[in-house]
A and B are shown apart, each in its own frame.
Chain A
Amino acid sequence: MPVAVTPEARQRGQWQMALERFRGHRPAVIGTFVLVVLALLAIGAPLISPYDPEKTQLLLIFERPSLSHPMGTDSLGRDLATRILYGGRVSLSIGVMAVAVAITLGTLVGMVAGFYGRWIDGLLMRFVDMMLSFPDLFLLILIGVLLKGMTVPVIVVVLGLLRWMRTSRLVRAQFLSLKEREFVEAARTVGADDLRIIFRHILPNSLAPIIVAATLGVAGAIITESTLSFLGLGIQPPTPTWGNMLKDATRDMERAPWTAIYPGLFIFLAVVSINFIGDGLRDALDPRHVIRTQRR
């Protein structure tokens, strides 16, 4: 592979190497495959299923899985497979959007704190401490009640607000160490201003842990949403999410186990895939891992 001299070219070369490493990581590849399938199923829900996920059919309560209802029906006679598909839309998108909010916020804060240091760092980190000191669950409950129920935007924002701290610390650590490096010195001598240094030089090199954290964050967000719904605080019915389907199902576990198996299974599949992908990304993007792969 040709090795170029400019930082941009070096980065491009690095990305390509990373991709190669990722493709060699078996579980990550499988995880990607599964996740893509899940995403496609979720997006294509209206095309795949002929049923209405919210229409109640009192006569069809708790039907066992059959040809017309491959995953059976739930406590109100609704086709479970359809609800899983539509639920996937909500659960997956909440996960992704919440992380997007968290990453954006966390990166911004961490960037500023790590780059400028001194009292700005101190102030921002105090703020981070304060946010970290808030008991998550309690805040979620309060907000849910204050706003009279959680809608998707609310959950996304709230989950994002509760999770950006870890990213900010990561980014800050990266910036703290990277800002002393030679290439930053070099950029400064050439006359680059702060903004340019941050966004063109340091940030791209800090992306690796951010990406990994983001990926794993989606998994965490999905689990948090399901826990919230289990406590009755998440998205309210009749809109299906994998989380709130599990909540109802735990009550009906003995009578209709399929209502509990499938949502739980899909949460598990999504989260495991994402974790595999994250693991693969971590391996692929960490330059120090190059040593190990060569040793294999």
Chain B
Amino acid sequence: MSWKTFGNAAVVGALFAIVAAACAPSTPAAGTAAPSPAGSAAGAPVRGGTLVVAIWQEPANLMPSYQSQTVQSVVLDTVVEGLLRATPAGEYEPVLAKAVPTVTNGGVKVSADGKTMDVTYQLLPGIKWSDGEPVTSADVKFTWQAWMTDPKVGTREGYDQISSIDTPDDLTAVVHYKAIYGPYPTRFGRLLAKHALEKESDYSKSDYVRKPLGTGPFKVTQFNAGESFVVERNPYYRVAGKPYLDKIIFKSVPSSTVAIAQLKAGEVQAMWNIGEAETADVANDPNIAVVVTPSPYVERIEMNTAVNKDGTDANSVHPVLGDINVRRALIYATPKQQIIDKLLLGKAQVGRTVLSIGWAAPKDITQEGYDPKKANDLLDKAGWAKGSDGIRSKGGVRAALTISTTSGNAYREQLEQVLIDEYKQVGVDLKIQNYPSSVFLSGSWATGDQRKRGSYDLSLYNSAPDIDPQSIVNQRYHSKNIPSPANGGVGQNYTRVKNAEMDKAIDEAGASLDFELRKAAYAKALKILNDQAVIIWLSERTDLTAYRKNVQGQGPGNGWRNFAHNTEEWWLSK
């Protein structure tokens, strides 16, 4: 054997040996007692310390009015507050306001003709911005104006319902709405500082975009794109003695795998958004605990009931999915629980409807479960006969469908492959066609987004309603919101479901300020929606955050916000 080959073999062997040794699963430490839930305080809070949180996506900017990413709100939650905020139960509590204005306490006054309303906010006295300037009602008015005049804000939802704002004194703001706007408590969730922004001609070009002012427990001190985002204790924070932590560093890491590795190595003490399947990696580590919080996110598959064109014909029907039996059969053919158990390690609930938590969530709504036999029977009876290749067809139309979702998502890719198998069992041929998220979620009629144009069959994605569900229920399930050339592609009713009863219930819910009435209306509408069998509700997702044991004070999470919702309470034990 020549030296050359020997050398090569040695190198190959060495590489292989290294890999094999490296990949030997690390033996779990002896005595894996069940880790005590994070936050069960071991003593009194200690002041001081720096917490490093691993985030595997990073905020593109921190402008409160440009919010588009979840991770943005994670960082912003530590810095910028608003008048009210959501509680874990899906209700509202005051933050910078003295109380939540409602009809009962007189904070909300409906006009005599029942067409407009006024909402009055009383601000807490003595609040200061992180640069020491006082917070006044002028800031509330300015926030609305900024939202409406800056062309680059995300959504103007709600703010465009305001006709004017009066500020009789520094601590009172009276907001005049030009219609009855049920979700009013969701507005002004983040205030903008008038004195800092008013002198800027283009807000998007100011420093505020990366270092906004706020009233939260921390303020942004460093924005190192690609590396880290540092927030430090806000000396003007309104609660004395808090926050306990000196500093929080949000460290940008390339992927969740690296984040987990750094968490285990102790390089970071917390990790945002650990995946369900990944919790297995940290389950055996006695130094790490995972906090599970129910979230409003529901993973679903939407089915297109209209034909695959631009929906120019308002009555066009999808050749395969237009048949409700096919749709229902697909629901029967989906092994929801098994998927959750195997792919999400049980860390989710079977999906039932779009509103999973919160005050409007219907308690006793259901959807069909996994029953492939029923699926086959249904299709047999409906006239879809199985061909020689096992795929059904009816009237010359083959039961062949394409499913789309965002590419690069491991769980979704696994899910699609499971479905290919399962649907084949009931005689439906499923193909995959994924897109990068910037394409799949572009949501623009002009750029040919397939959900808008109706050029898809099955669409798999994850979404959450706002704490007030009106906006999403209206946009997604009201027949007037079916995008088409006729209405300029407006609306998000991608399934193109049309039901007059459901429309009525949705309108009722939107026109009232009575929570009980609205709740009943939503329950009715969503039951009808499930009867239409246009959406397969896969799973109700949870928020998962992993912490090292020395991080204390988190308490149970808030699914309506995120894990950074109460960072003023956190502290590090030794």
Contacts and interface: CB of A to CB of B under 8 A. Distances in A.
A binds B: yes
B434 A236 contact: yes
Contacts of B26: 254
Interface string A104-139: 000000000000000000000000000000000000
Contact of A261 (B4, B20, B25, B408): B20
A75 B434 contact: no
A261 B408 CA distance: 21
Contacts of A232: 407-408, 436
Contact of B432 (A27, A236, A276): A236
B408 A148 contact: no
Contacts, number: 82
A289 interface: no
Contacts of A56: 414, 417-418, 420-421
Contact of A75 (B4, B5, B414): B414
B134 to A, nearest CB: 50
B280 interface: yes
B266 to A, nearest CB: 17
Interface stretch (A8-16, A92-100, A189-197, A245-253): A245-253
Contacts of A248: 410, 413
A30 to B, nearest CB: 6
A209 interface: no
Given A260-B23, A261-B20, A149 B434 contact: yes
Interface in B261-288: 280-281
B435 interface: yes
B257 A250 contact: yes
A288 interface: no
Interface string A258-289: 10110011001000100010000000000000
Interface residues of B, number: 38
A276 B8 CA distance: 10
A200 interface: no
Of the listed residues A75, A248, A264, the one surrounded by the most CB atoms of chain B closer than 10 A to its CB is A75
A5 interface: no
B4 A58 contact: no
Given A58-B418, A145-B435, A255-B281, A261 B8 contact: no
B139 to A, nearest CB: 43
B12 A30 contact: no
Interface string B58-73: 0000000000000000
B292 interface: no
A27 B16 contact: no
A188 interface: no
Contacts of A272: 8, 12
A26 B2 contact: yes
B281 A254 contact: yes
A237 interface: yes
Contacts of B417: 54, 56, 76, 237-238
B112 interface: no
A261 B19 contact: yes
B8 A251 contact: no
B444 interface: no
A142 to B, nearest CB: 11
A253 B342 contact: no
B410 A26 contact: no
B410 A61 contact: no
A170 B281 CA distance: 51
A288 B313 CA distance: 75
A55 interface: yes
Given A250-B257, A255-B280, A61 B342 contact: yes
Interface in B306-352: 338-339, 342-343
Contacts of B22: 257
B5 A27 contact: yes
Nearest to B255: A251
Contacts of A237: 413, 417, 432
A72 B280 CA distance: 19
B433 interface: yes
Q: Does more than half of chain B's interface fall in helix, strand or loop, or is it mixed?
A: helix
A55 B419 CA distance: 11
Contact of B23 (A55, A61, A253, A268): A253
B420 A27 contact: no
Contacts of B407: 232, 236
Nearest to B8: A27
B490 interface: no
B520 interface: no
Interface in A1-60: 26-27, 30, 54-56, 58-59
B257 A253 contact: yes
Given A58-B342, A261-B19, A261-B20, A238 B281 contact: no
Contacts of B338: 58
Contacts of A268: 12, 15
A237 B432 CA distance: 9
A255 B25 contact: yes
Interface string A143-168: 00100110000000000000000000
B462 to A, nearest CB: 18
Nearest to B256: A251
Contacts of B25: 254-255, 257
Contacts of A264: 19
A248 to B, nearest CB: 6
B394 to A, nearest CB: 27
Nearest to A144: B436
Contact of A238 (B12, B342, B420): B420
A250 B19 CA distance: 13
B451 to A, nearest CB: 15
Contacts of B410: 75, 248, 251
A205 to B, nearest CB: 29
A261 B435 CA distance: 28
Nearest to A253: B23
B439 interface: yes
B433 to A, nearest CB: 7
Interface in B387-417: 407-408, 410, 413-414, 417
B521 to A, nearest CB: 39
Contact of A26 (B5, B433, B439): B5
A30 B435 contact: no
B421 A26 contact: no
B91 to A, nearest CB: 38
Contacts of B19: 257, 261, 264
B3 to A, nearest CB: 9
A59 B421 CA distance: 14
Interface string B438-472: 01000000000000000000000000000000000
Given A145-B439, A248-B413, A253-B23, 17 more contacts: A27-B5, A27-B8, A54-B417, A75-B410, A145-B435, A145-B436, A148-B433, A149-B434, A232-B408, A237-B432, A251-B255, A253-B257, A254-B23, A254-B25, A257-B25, A260-B23, A261-B23
23 contacts: A26-B1, A26-B5, A27-B2, A30-B5, A56-B418, A58-B338, A145-B435, A145-B436, A148-B435, A149-B433, A149-B434, A149-B435, A232-B407, A237-B413, A251-B257, A253-B257, A254-B26, A255-B25, A255-B281, A257-B23, A260-B23, A272-B8, A272-B12
Q: Which 9 pairs from chain A and chain B are nearest by CB?
A: A257-B23, A232-B408, A26-B2, A58-B342, A56-B417, A56-B421, A238-B417, A27-B4, A26-B5
Interface of B: 1-2, 4-5, 8, 12, 15-16, 19-20, 22-26, 255, 257, 280-281, 338-339, 342-343, 407-408, 410, 413-414, 417-418, 420-421, 432-436, 439
